[in-house]
């Protein structure tokens, strides 16, 4: 099932990610996006919206409380959100390019199989 993941700014100024429910006009499974200045620039951290009192990503926000919807945001942010909400590690296309190095010296996976 494909989810409509949206990054939005709420009327209180917070930036959150969630799964958009078109029928109910609300955002569900809310994660708060917090930016942290660092020496390399800015790092982003996803937290449950109710943090520190809630440790699980959940909840819902009515569409009336959304001030702005970002049209584009990094795919990696969406991937991290889906990993946080599903407790799964997702693979991207770039992860498969180094697969041949796992096979050993010859780069052939059949070298790993015993004959």
Domains in the chain, number: 1
Q: What is the mean pLDDT of residues 62-90?
A: 89
Q: Is residue 75 part of a domain?
A: yes
Cα–Cα distances (Å) from 28 to 34, 42, 60, 98, in that order, read 18, 26, 4, 36
Q: Is residue 72 part of a domain?
A: yes
What pLDDT sits at residue 17? Answer: 96
More confident residue, 3 or 11: 11
Higher pLDDT, 11 or 98: 11
We report the CATH number of the domain holding residue 54 as: 2.30.30.100
Residue 62's domain comprises 5-94
pTM comes to 0.73
| pLDDT tens digits, 31-49 | 999 999 999 998 999 999 9
Let me know how long the chain is. 115
How far is the C-alpha of 20 from the C-alpha of 8, rounded, in Å?
10
* Residue 77 resides in a domain: yes
Count of Cβ atoms closer than 10 Å to residue 28 Cβ: 16
pLDDT score for 2: 74
């Amino acid at each position: 099932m494909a989810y409509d993941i949206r990054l939005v700014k709420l009327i209180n100024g917070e930036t959150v990610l969630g799964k958009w429910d078109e029928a109910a006009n609300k955002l569900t499974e809310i994660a708060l996006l917090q930016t942290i200045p660092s020496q390399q620039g800015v790092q982003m951290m996803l937290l449950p919206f109710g943090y520190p009192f809630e440790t699980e990503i959940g909840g819902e926000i009515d569409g009336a409380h959304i001030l702005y919807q970002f049209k584009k945001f990094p795919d990696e942010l969406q991937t991290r959100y889906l990993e946080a909400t599903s407790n799964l590690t997702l693979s991207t296309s770039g992860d498969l390019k180094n697969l041949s190095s796992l096979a050993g010296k010859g780069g052939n996976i059949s070298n790993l199989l015993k004959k």
